Structure 1
Amino acid sequence: MKKKGLWIGIGAVGVIVIALILILTIPNKPKQAATPVQNTTRVSKGDITVSVTGSGSTVSTESDSVRTKDEGKVSEVHVKAGDVVKKGQVLLTFEGTDNSDNLKAQQSSLESQQLDLVDLQEQFKRQVQEGADEQTLNTTKKSITKQELNISNTEAEIAKLKEDMVPPDPLTSPIDGTVTAVNITAGEQAKSGSELFVINDYQKLSVKIQVDELDIPNVEEGMKATVQVDALPDQTFEGTVSDIADEGTASGGVSLFDVTIALNDSEGVRVGMSAEATIITEEKQDVLTLPIEAVQQRGGRYVVLLSEGESGESSVPVGGQPPDAEATPPQAGSGARSNDASEAPANRQGRGTGASGVAGGNGGSGSMGGRMQVVEVGAHNETLIEIVSGLTEGQEVVIPTVISNSSGSATQQQTRMQGGFGGSSGLSGGSAGFSGGAAPGGGGAAPTGGGGGFGGGGGR
């Protein structure tokens, strides 16, 4: 009996030990995730530069194909490929036509015709003195007239032969540059209109880039540009837009337009080098600005979420509608593009101002307070947007927060706006406006492009 009681006691202790181990090793019930810290920013004054970029290569700004208007035998070619020439420099000379034998023959014929004319004139005088009949006189007159015509033709032929003996004017260079092609040699017969030389000005170079059809309406001749040449990474070249193609070329379903930028200084640059240019389409200085992701589009109006304690004109509580807003804002993640006039064109390949965007959907009001403020926006680039009205310098607004969560065996990307409001299309390139709460279904931002607003567009 004692042995049996001993075993019972040992078993009880074992059960207690196992229970303690289980209690210590089994994880506790997941704690509720801590509320993220609200990200805010303040309205500040700054400069905004809006630009368009494109890639291409360097080309000769001025190139000329030299053709002759004269026909003739080339006497001497004075340049060769690779020679540097100045405007007006002689490229080749022509030989005159050797008409000496024909000229002598025509001159001899002219002398004979002139003597015959004198004889006919003397004959006519005698016929008049002798009282010849009218028919005889008319016959002599016709002979005289014919001989005068022969003499005139001979004189014209002599003049033509003499003219041909004078060589055409030498062919000269129309520009400063380098001879890159010579298509004639001494002794050859040059034909009118044929290309004899090609000259390129390598001192004045340009960069020809291709610009997307959505950006080309913003580009104008005379705009300033900066150029980076791949072969000269430590140098930045400046220039101006000198030409914009009227016709685009299709590439992958997108039309691209050639834009030529004349470089102010091209020292060290060679024709054919790869380059990338940035064209400045708009510059704003000392204006009110916000990070672009802080502004959202809601019901056709642009709004920001003021931090708790901030207030402004035309502001409404979170969850309400801004003035003149549509009753039902567009759904998040719809990929719809805004038609607001102040919105920048979306990029076809999701190259907008936002990468993943902020969450949209019809979420709740969120756990943190704040008020929506309607604003008027102006110029914007990839990071900043101009606030024309609705806010003052120093006011604090909320910036969307993007959070990634993992659940179960599958990882899901969820975007939630802390303290946000259910909304429509955002400016930051993703789907819609601020998401309310942290509900997983609160509308996400498609990583490939998504909704409207600045930098949205239909990503591909």
Structure 2
Amino acid sequence: MKKWIVIAGSVLVVGFVGYQWIPSPLSTQTVSAQVRSAVVQKGTLNINISGSGTVQAVTSYDIKSKFANNEIDEVLAAVGESVKEGDELITFSDGSDPVTSPATGVITSLAVSAGERVTNGQVVAHVTNYNKLQTVVQIDELDIAKIKKKQPVELSINAFPDQVFTGKVAAISDEGTSSNGVSTFAVTIHIDKPDQLKVGMSAEARILTESKKDALYVPLDAVYTSKQEKYVVINSKIAGGTVSGNEKKTVQTGLANEDYVEITKGVTAGETVKLPQLAKASVSTNSSGNNQVSIFGGMGNAGRINRNFSGRGVN
């Protein structure tokens, strides 16, 4: 009798434990995908090419001795002192021509003193002009042909996040540098008003390569491609703003940047175009009140987004 009682008790315990491991029923609720749209805009569409670099001095020279074994009579400048181009910096005991400053600026280093002897080509001092600053950015080989001298540039400096500085393209390297199979070219940008800037600050440059006024444009992902045809989906509306249906319109595109693409034919300003839906979310709630979120779906079947437009860069 006791043996059957033990067996029966064991069965009840196993059954109870097994019940605890059975997942609680889930109630699933699907959150509808967000409907997205944009208005066809009319305005100036800018095409920019971006590059990063650091702030540098336009003028920065090592000053070298042209004499061998000449004894220095007097050093006429000090570190931190402002000098002008042609100022005497060092004189020699034997009356040789003095060392002069090759540029206007500030003496940032001085490597000799009176009584020492110098060798030909020895660096005796350094001069830097902090009133004229520049940055040198690396531009991809696919974009370098679009860069021209005197093109306007907007500069973002990390140290001044709320300010925009301006400049112009001053020089374009004739030789590129290759890394991992990609070549880049150095582009020098002179900064217009660098009063607050210091050498070594990080800079992001946006070089304006093309601009079009009164252009019609939409977000890039508003344009779809199907069998080499580009089209947008227009949201048709009736009185009260209710959407009555969608109309597919074939379009022709022009300039483009990383955000917008110009529509040269097929739409008018003020029309509303449909954008791809965001991914749908499925929220499941078990009996314990815990939520589980699953992402499914995506762009829908409207077509692939076409990003192969003319122009590169960031607006």
Q: Verify same fold: TM over 0.5.
A: yes
2:73 to 50, 72, 75: 75
CA distance in 2, matches of 1:301, 1:189: 78
Q: Which residue of 1 aligns with 2:163?
A: 235
2:265 to 375, 389, 392: 389
CA distance in 2, matches of 1:301, 1:225: 35
| Counterpart mapping for 1:59-458 below 5 A | 59-71=56-68, 72-96=70-94, 167-245=95-173, 246-248=175-177, 250=179, 256-308=184-236, 370-406=246-282, 411-417=294-300, 421=302, 423=303, 425-427=304-306, 453=308
TM-score, length of structure 1 as denominator length? 0.51
User: What is the CA RMSD across the aligned residues, in angstroms?
Assistant: 3.5
- Asked whether the 8 Å contact 1:297–1:453 carries over to 2, the reply is no
Cα drift, residue 89 of structure 1: 0.6
Kindly name which structure, 1 or 2, has the bigger radius of gyration based on alpha carbons.
1
In the alignment, is residue 50 of structure 1 matched against residue 47 of structure 2?
Answer: yes
CA distance in 1, matches of 2:132, 2:272: 51
Letter in 1 for 2:98: P
CA distance in 2, matches of 1:172, 1:37: 70
Letter in 1 for 2:54: S
Q: Which residue of 2 aligns with 1:10?
A: none
* Deviations 1:422-460 (CA, angstroms, capped at 9, x unpaired): x3x413xxxxxxxxxxxxxxxxxxxxxxxx5469xxxxx
> CA separation of 1:404/1:67 partners in 2, compared to 1, >3 Å: closer, same or farther?
same
Cα drift, residue 177 of structure 1: 0.6
Higher strand share goes to which structure? 2
> CA separation of 1:249/1:273 partners in 2, compared to 1, >3 Å: closer, same or farther?
farther
CA distance in 2, matches of 1:371, 1:236: 41
Cα drift, residue 384 of structure 1: 2.1
Secondary structure in structure 2 of the residue aligned to 1:373 = strand
CA distance in 2, matches of 1:27, 1:263: 62
Letter in 2 for 1:219: I
Cα drift, residue 217 of structure 1: 4.3
Letter in 2 for 1:48: L
Cα drift, residue 370 of structure 1: 4.4
> CA separation of 1:398/1:175 partners in 2, compared to 1, >3 Å: closer, same or farther?
same
> CA separation of 1:74/1:227 partners in 2, compared to 1, >3 Å: closer, same or farther?
same
Cα drift, residue 82 of structure 1: 1.9
Cα drift, residue 377 of structure 1: 1.2
Cα drift, residue 223 of structure 1: 2.0
> CA separation of 1:94/1:415 partners in 2, compared to 1, >3 Å: closer, same or farther?
same
- Asked whether the 8 Å contact 1:426–1:454 carries over to 2, the reply is no
Secondary structure in structure 2 of the residue aligned to 1:82 = coil
Q: Name structure 1 gaps, 5 residues minimum.
A: 1-25, 97-166, 310-367, 428-451, 456-460
Number of residue pairs aligned between Structure 1 and Structure 2: 272
- Asked whether the 8 Å contact 2:254–2:309 carries over to 1, the reply is no
CA distance in 2, matches of 1:385, 1:210: 25
Identity %: 31
Q: Name structure 2 gaps, 5 residues minimum.
A: 1-24, 238-243, 285-291, 311-315
Higher relative contact order (CA 8 A, sep 6+): 2
